[in-house]
Homo-oligomer: A and B are copies of this chain.
Amino acid sequence: MTSILGYALLGLLAREPCSGYDLSRKMQKPISFFWRARHSQIYPELAKLEAQSLVTYTVVEQQDQPDKKVYTITSAGEDALRKWVSTPMDVSMLRDELILRAYSLWLASPDEARQLFLTHAQLHSEQLNMYEAVLQEMLAESHIQQVDSPQFGSYAVLMLGIGYERMYSEWCYWVAQQLEHGVTK
Contact = CB atoms under 8 A, between A and B. Distances in A.
Interface of A: 4, 7-8, 10-11, 14, 30, 32-36, 78, 81-82, 84-89, 91-110, 112-113, 115-116, 119-120, 123-124, 127, 143, 145-154, 156-157, 159-160, 163-164, 166-168, 170-171, 174-175, 178-179, 182-185
Given A106-B150, A147-B183, A178-B145, A120 B100 contact: no
19 contacts: A30-B93, A34-B100, A82-B104, A82-B108, A82-B109, A85-B107, A85-B108, A86-B115, A87-B116, A89-B116, A92-B95, A106-B153, A143-B183, A145-B178, A147-B184, A152-B178, A159-B171, A160-B168, A164-B164
- Copies of this chain held together in the complex: 2
Contact of A91 (B82, B102, B123): B123
B146 A184 contact: yes
Contact of A88 (B116, B167, B175): B116
B84 A156 contact: no
Contacts of A184: 146-148
Contacts of A185: 146, 148-149
Contacts of A148: 106-107, 110, 184-185
A29 to B, nearest CB: 12
A170 to B, nearest CB: 7
Contact of A97 (B92, B120, B174): B92
